[in-house]
Amino acid sequence: MTGMLTIAGLGPGDEALVTPEVAAALADATDIFGYAPYVARVSAREGLVLHASDNRQELLRAAEAMRLAAEGRRVVVVSSGDPGVFAMASAVFEALEASPQWQGVSIRVLPGVTAMLAAAARAGAPLGHDFCAINLSDNLKPWSVIEKRLRLAAEADFAIALYNPRSASRPEGFARALEVLKQAGCGDRITIFARAVTTPEERVDALRLRDARPDMADMRTLVIVGNSATRRCGRWIYAPRRAS
């Protein structure tokens, strides 16, 4: 029996945004690994083992998934959104690099709709010109790196998608990020707070960055700071296709 390790993105929440390719991988799986709330999105059925784990156990989870795939099981590691965007795919490859005995395991990565794309679609087209994405979590990188990237992204006039803006354990990070962006001259920029996009709790608000408050974001929020040309057209927000 040949095992397979599939790293799949479940999209931002709505079942309709799970790709047919990912749905087929889930239907064929023997084992699902992932952070508990994401594993909970996979329907239980006979013959399917659900391995839900804590958010911080990414490397352990990846190694265990690889071990089962090497034994011949069809293992799917799930992430929300896209698995390559601040998610499990990198953790699996880190585990692979550390464990040469698994080099022979078949691996595939199946993309999903990442949160910034779902959020952008709700607002209009704020990512219609050049943009970047920054993870505000400082679990895996020092704050000085985050601050430098924010400053340079502002200077380059990118629209900026901010993932993981705020958690209960480090509520001050997002306040600092807003301050850095204000000092970098972004006070006027249209800023979108998109929470739980494509789920029943969805909420999307937009305002100027200088009026944004840290408590407008939580860990289910994706923030998009527009570029200097981002504008409104009725209820829509978009980045014009030309930059000066």
Q: Which is nearer to ligand SAH, 164 or 230 (CB)?
A: 164
Q: Which residue is nearest to ligand SAH (CB)?
A: 81
Residues that bind ligand SAH (CB under 6 A): 12-13, 79-82, 85-87, 114-115, 119, 163-165, 194-199, 219-222
Q: Which is nearer to ligand SAH, 78 or 107 (CB)?
A: 78
Q: To the nearest whole angstrom, how small is the minimum distance from the Cβ of residue 59 to ligand SAH?
A: 16
CA atoms within 13 A on the CB side of 97: 7
Q: Which is nearer to ligand SAH, 70 or 125 (CB)?
A: 125
Q: To the nearest whole angstrom, how small is the minimum distance from the Cβ of residue 244 to ligand SAH?
A: 30
Q: To the nearest whole angstrom, how small is the minimum distance from the Cβ of residue 167 to ligand SAH?
A: 8
Q: To the nearest whole angstrom, how small is the minimum distance from the Cβ of residue 220 to ligand SAH?
A: 6
Q: Which is nearer to ligand SAH, 70 or 109 (CB)?
A: 109
